[in-house]
Amino acid sequence: MKKLGVLLVLTLPLWAGVINHTITINADDVHFKNYNQYTIVEIDGADQLVNPGEPVMPMLIHHFVIPPSAEVTNIEVLEGDMHVFDGTHTLLPGQEPIAFSMMTEVDVTPPNQAIYTSSDPYPAMNLVTYPTGMKTGFRICEMHLYPMHYIPSQGQLELTREMTVRITYEEGVHPVQTITERQYDVAKRAIKALVSNPEDIDKFKPNVRADAITDVNFAIVIGGSFQSDFEAMRLWKTKKGYNAEIITVSWITSNYTGYDGTDTQARIKDFFADYYTNKGLVFAVLGGDVATVPERDCYNAWQSPSTLACDWYYADISDWDLDNDNQYGEPGTQQPDAYHDIYVGRIPVDNSTEVTSYWTKLQTFEKNPPTAGIQKVVLPSGWLWYNLNYHGRYCNNKIDTIMARVGFTSGKLEEQSAPATRNWINSNGPQLGHPCGHGNDAGVYNQYTNMFTNSDVPYLTNTLGFIMNSIACYPGNFDGNDDCFAERLITNNAYSAIDAIFNCRYGWGQPPSFGPSEHIDTSFFSIFVDDTLWIGVAQAQSVIHWRAAIWGGWGVWHYCGCELNLLGDPEVHGYTSIPIALQATHSSQIQCGSQSFTVNVTNGSVPVDDALVCLYKDGEIHETGRTNASGQVVITINPQSEGTMYVTATAFNYLPYEGSTTVVGIAENKIETVGNGIWINSTVVKDRAIINYAFGASSHASIRMFNVAGALVNDVYNGQISGTGVLTVNTSRLAAGIYFITIEHDNVQHTESILIVR
């Protein structure tokens, strides 16, 4: 094998590590297309390297998770099994980026003759590496690989059919974050959808602490007097498993100073960073238009206007103004970490009526969606540039192919004027949509003809709220037009969209190759189909996949990545199949006190694995767990008073189960509080064990946990103890099995056993 592409070599310390990953490409994965006198070469699953005037070449983007304290010291690629294709080719030269609002004929960029007459392989490298970053406690490294090379003067194409990436890292370089169990539950799914070594996620995870009743996993930041209007959403998110809280902008500005500025935006971000670090924040909704919950203008010097409304700023807790020049989100040497630590959506409401309308369609989508349109996607398209023979159908055809993998059918409405798109939506109730054409604040167009615009929104009657994105220019201009097309889709009535992911400024193409806007939008659909994530997470992944291109320079990629915003709920599940209602069995009545609570979840006939079960009793209990392959989860709880405990089960591609259990009586303590004692009520646990204690006077206590081999796995407590209470032991990192807890106090020693289940 041939060794190429060394990034950096350091003397390896004793605790260095190596990751090896082999990529295999078959010749059948390579496809050739003709475009005028040129050849376009593509590889299944690959992206493209497009530089104006230079040959368009396949490019593989790979992300890898490494240990959370580590830094990469060396990356190399071992190449083998070379294949030379028959024949000669003149590869298509990349074109200059063109804004989708430019409806006039555009100039064609000719081949760069210095490259096209050269005998040197293009591209010259097989590997380009980028700085690592931190995403919710996980450290990620990114690289671009070039498995194909072109000898322009000979018209020859060579394919490296096997590439082995070897990543060497040094641990102990970065501090390790501590995240909560709920943050980890979402983060590991997001990381799995991103990296090429998902088998290492559990091994390379950050520190994970137990969830706490005081955690806030879902923040609703409101700028108006909407607190009572958002209460239904707050309660539903809490019942689902994400402890939610409504916070006003005025409270935030009174309690936070901002760490990358002093304005309202910086203070809101400071609040998010605090709640992410100390309260387990995962999702956030900006509940208001920009007049009450301001956006952050991200700076881009490549194209006017140079300010892009960018809610990505709130999702990444790193500093976005490293040089303190009040220009936020600069790429290159000033780039922020640029990974989403939380997932942010904006519900741009101006009044209570708009909040109510949005909540009506959101709860219908999540709890009782009409199923006829679940597996449908509307794909209107129009001409983009006549002289290049470039049509919106090319992007939508790829989306159609992606969605067909999971049985979706498409309404491919090519060059159909309004109200054709609106009528198709009303008749079919699709879950997804992608209008592909020119655009402005008011909608999307086929050249100068309305395709889907503001005038359609009041007449929408779809009972399944849809999820829509678009390459078009300006339909997401929520900071400059009250109300832009995306806002009207979200707030106008109880129909239309639950999530709209639109550009606030120009969308950009590079015909006949895809431009950044097309790549990002099609990435969203691939992630939606392949990875089954929350919509806010899928949208974040669609730009994180292109993180190096977006943040590596000042160009069109940075513009397109930063201008794309999610209006709507980031936590909502999309459906890749017709959802079935979950059913659950559990105790209908329990007593107060520490205990194990078992929930069995099925779809009516078979157990459901990986369902999220939440037990919630206001002020006392907010515990979650996921079901195993048998559909069962055992959760440790300790209710202190009579009342109702809500039991909710949710899962991707299922409708939720909502039930409750009545808490009655006061359980008698095993030992009188005037005496001395330490005991365990529940001997079957999952992620935490609860140890009770009661002492009339201060005593010295020692509590230690051992595995069946006699090895100490947790020195739980050693010190003075008094009064009554509980100690919580995090068992989430321990393997399933039997463990022994040895308890010593007042010259008395006894041992109790527990069974950890997964």
The CATH number that applies at residue 590 is 2.60.40.10
Same domain, 430 and 559: yes
CATH code for the domain in which residue 169 is found:
2.60.40.3800
DSSP string, 111-146: P-HHHHT--S-BSS-SEEE---EEETTEEEEEEEE-
Q: Among 539, 568, 597, which residue terminates a domain? A: 568
Same domain, 419 and 496: yes
Confidence label for 321 from pLDDT (cuts 50, 70 and 90): very high
Same domain, 544 and 591: no
Supply the pLDDT for residue 415.
96
> CA-to-CA distance for 425 and 462, rounded, in angstroms?
6
Supply the pLDDT for residue 208.
97
Same domain, 94 and 155: yes
Q: Please say if the pLDDT value at position 669 is more than 60.
A: no
Q: Average pLDDT, whole number, for the chain?
A: 92
Q: Is residue 702 part of a domain?
A: yes
Q: Please say if the pLDDT value at position 350 is more than 60.
A: yes
Longest dimension (CA), the chain: 92
Q: What is the pLDDT of residues 527-573, one digit of tens each?
A: 999 988 999 999 999 999 999 999 987 699 999 999 999 999 999 99
Mean pLDDT, rounded, for 464-485:
94
Same domain, 72 and 112: yes
Q: Please say if the pLDDT value at position 297 is more than 60.
A: yes
Same domain, 563 and 511: yes
Residue whose pair of structure tokens reads 């330490």 in the numeric block: 678
CATH code for the domain in which residue 487 is found:
3.40.50.1460
How many domains is the chain built from? Answer: 4
Same domain, 610 and 689: no
Distance between alpha carbon 459 and the CA centroid of its chain, in Å? Answer: 32
Same domain, 75 and 144: yes
Share of the chain above pLDDT 90, in %: 78
Asked if 317 and 276 count as a contact pair (C-beta separation under 8 A), the reply is: yes
Confidence label for 655 from pLDDT (cuts 50, 70 and 90): very high
Give 750's contacts (C-beta < 8 A, 6+ positions apart). Answer: 742, 743
Supply the pLDDT for residue 722.
81
Supply the pLDDT for residue 666.
57
Reduced to 3 states, what is the DSSP secondary structure of residue 205? coil
Q: Please say if the pLDDT value at position 144 is more than 90.
A: yes
Supply the pLDDT for residue 673.
41
Q: What is the pLDDT of residues 197-210, one digit of tens each?
A: 999 999 999 999 99
Q: Is residue 224 part of a domain?
A: no
Supply the pLDDT for residue 723.
81
Q: Is residue 423 part of a domain?
A: yes
CATH code for the domain in which residue 732 is found:
2.60.40.1930
> CA-to-CA distance for 708 and 612, rounded, in angstroms?
30
Supply the pLDDT for residue 608.
98
Q: Is residue 276 part of a domain?
A: no
Mean pLDDT, rounded, for 459-486:
95
Same domain, 77 and 55: yes
Torsion angle in degrees (nearest 10) through CA of 189, 192, 194, 198: 160
The angle that helices 535-544 and 181-194 make with each other, rounded to 10 degrees, is 50
Supply the pLDDT for residue 2.
35
What is the residue range of 106's domain? 2-179
> CA-to-CA distance for 358 and 364, rounded, in angstroms?
10
Confidence label for 675 from pLDDT (cuts 50, 70 and 90): low
> CA-to-CA distance for 739 and 716, rounded, in angstroms?
13
Q: Please say if the pLDDT value at position 704 is more than 50.
A: yes
Q: Among 132, 151, 179, which residue terminates a domain? A: 179
Q: Is residue 346 part of a domain?
A: no
Confidence label for 691 from pLDDT (cuts 50, 70 and 90): confident
Q: Among 521, 536, 568, which residue terminates a domain? A: 568
Nearest to 550 by CA among 322, 346, 300: 300
Same domain, 752 and 636: no
Q: Is residue 758 part of a domain?
A: yes
Q: 225 or 610: which carries more pLDDT confidence?
A: 610
Q: Is residue 573 part of a domain?
A: no
Tell me the two tokens of residue 728. 């919580």
> Sign of the CA dihedral 188, 193, 199, 201?
negative
> Sign of the CA dihedral 286, 290, 296, 302?
positive
Same domain, 585 and 465: no
> CA-to-CA distance for 416 and 414, rounded, in angstroms?
5
Give 434's contacts (C-beta < 8 A, 6+ positions apart). Answer: 377, 378, 379, 395, 396, 399, 468, 469, 470, 521, 525
Same domain, 49 and 171: yes
Residue whose pair of structure tokens reads 């990436």 in the numeric block: 165
Supply the pLDDT for residue 551.
94
Confidence label for 51 from pLDDT (cuts 50, 70 and 90): very high
Mean pLDDT, rounded, for 344-366:
96
Tell me the two tokens of residue 26. 């078959």
Supply the pLDDT for residue 3.
36
Q: Please say if the pLDDT value at position 5 is more than 60.
A: no
Nearest to 467 by CA among 326, 373, 339: 373
Roughly how many angstroms between the first and final C-alpha of the chain, as a whole number?
43
> CA-to-CA distance for 313 and 38, rounded, in angstroms?
41
Q: Is residue 281 part of a domain?
A: no
> Sign of the CA dihedral 118, 124, 126, 131?
negative
Global pTM value: 0.87
Supply the pLDDT for residue 372.
96
